[in-house]
Amino acid sequence: MKIGKQTKISDLLEKYPFLIEEMEKINNHFALLKNKAARMTMAKIATVSMASKAAGLSAAELMNAIKKIVAEHGVETLEIDTDDERTRLDTLKEIIKEMHQGGDPAAAKIKFNELLKEIDPHEIKDLEQQLVMEGMPVSEIQNLCELHVGVFKDALGKSDNVVVEAGHPVHTYQEENRRLEEAIARLEALLKRLDEENKAQVIPEARAALAQVATVEKHYVRKENQLFPFMEKHGITAPPQVMWGVHDEIRSLIKKAKKSLDTEDAAEIKKTVTELNHAMTEMIFKEEKILFPMVLQNITEDEWEQIRRGEDELGYILGVVPGDVWKPKGAGQTKTRDDVFSLDTGRMTIRQINALLKHLPLDISFVDENDEVLYYSETAERFFPRSPGVIGRKVQNCHPPKSVHIVQEIVEAFRAGRKNSAEFWINLRGRTLHIRYFAVRNDAGKYLGTLEVTQDITDIKRIEGERRLLDWNKSS
């Protein structure tokens, strides 16, 4: 057998079952291969290249160690493929750049199929990462995303979806995807029935089906606030940015589809809803074949536990409830303490400070001088979703690509001392929100970070005259 960087670990285990026990001698990381679930999931995804990175080894070190074990068992001599002068990643980059320059996707697909029989999801991550590092804007990669995944789709489609236990965050995403596929299919069926004669009957049904499809918002919000921060901690920064941009495109398509239903123009409805269904189906494919294998390979068990703890706050869709087969290890929660802290104008315990911040009639977040999110107030009702996964995340990664430049401009102006505050006001779900940013500085004027304050001022705007006496009947 020949072993190379792209050899699947599962292929090695099938050929040499003794490696299940023996690979732990190479590195303790491989002890997980003794777990049947890990062999059924991660081993089928992981290549030698991916496994070596996870164990902190070079691919050459891992291949030579495996070769030695096989030789010791007297089975055969493994041949190491050293023909890596030109990596598959370089080839993929060439294909994508050709398309970026106006190349023919059909020709690119033929070229790809001539070179490779399968594509590793890990490589698409590396591909997008390197394109960003080489200066290609995220928006350009976003535009190319559907195109380059389309080129690789045949090969990616041959791989099985990852299998994880019910209760694991990835399993919950998968269950939601199955419900979304059902909702999309219902919408597709209604489109086939729609014509000018029966639209009075079909359109109300289509509105109900579209409302179910539109619940995908919570699915995307969980990815953006729970999954993406942990990807970034592992150095996977480009794919989350690209995927978030596609989320926003789908959000726009949902609004567009809703408006088309209001026009009651059958042709326009078919056009916009078909476009939405296609975009959502493609996103499900990207999650199942690229995103989930990628995160399972990189995110640790302890981190999955943290992700699971933050999910309930953001919620689920279409009746999906996380299972209870997979259970987090139950690491200790952060404990509040009753130590008394002296402040500039008083003394409070951590317990009191925490309670006070939670009871403020507004949302606050604090970003430190290194642009990392250190805190957000866990109020009863938040205007914008937050979860524990955001802590330690770069603030630039907490916003969609289309608005991150505004955040960057504010932070840089505060850091340079040119400005001390910025404010906006928007209408959201019938409420008026006042959003303010303040530069936080020490007594010497040194920049310590940025405070974001969001307040619902809808009822405040209605106040007139005076109320000088207590009136419980009129107070909330």
Q: Could you report the per-residue pLDDT of 218-271, keeping only the tens digit for each?
A: 999 999 988 998 998 888 887 888 889 889 999 999 999 999 999 888 889 999
SS3 397: helix
Q: What is the spatial distance between Cα 29 and Cα 52, in angstroms, rounded to a whole number? A: 10
* Cβ atoms < 10 Å from Cβ of 30: 23
pLDDT value at position 335?
A: 46
Instruction: For 348-385, give one letter per residue: b (16+ CB within 10 A) or e.
Output: eeeeeebeeeeeeeebbbbbbeebebeebbebeeebeb
pLDDT value at position 117?
A: 46
Q: What is the spatial distance between Cα 301 and Cα 164, in angstroms, rounded to a whole number? A: 12
pLDDT value at position 146?
A: 58
Strand order in the sheet with 447-456: 373-376, 363-368, 447-456, 431-441, 421-428
pLDDT value at position 318?
A: 94
- Give the gyration radius of the chain's Cα atoms: 26
Write down how long the chain is.
Answer: 476
pLDDT value at position 457?
A: 92
Tell me, yes or no, if the pTM score tops 0.75.
no
Tell me which residues of the chain have a pLDDT lower than 50. 84-86, 116-118, 331-335
pLDDT value at position 108?
A: 66
Each residue's pLDDT tens digit, 116-142: 444 555 556 566 666 666 666 666 555
- Angle, CA 192 vertex, CA 189 and CA 179 arms, to 5°: 20
pLDDT value at position 85?
A: 37
Q: What is the spatial distance between Cα 3 and Cα 80, in angstroms, rounded to a whole number? A: 5
* Cβ atoms < 10 Å from Cβ of 441: 15
Burial class of residue 165, CB neighbours in 10 A (0-12, 13-18, 19+): middle
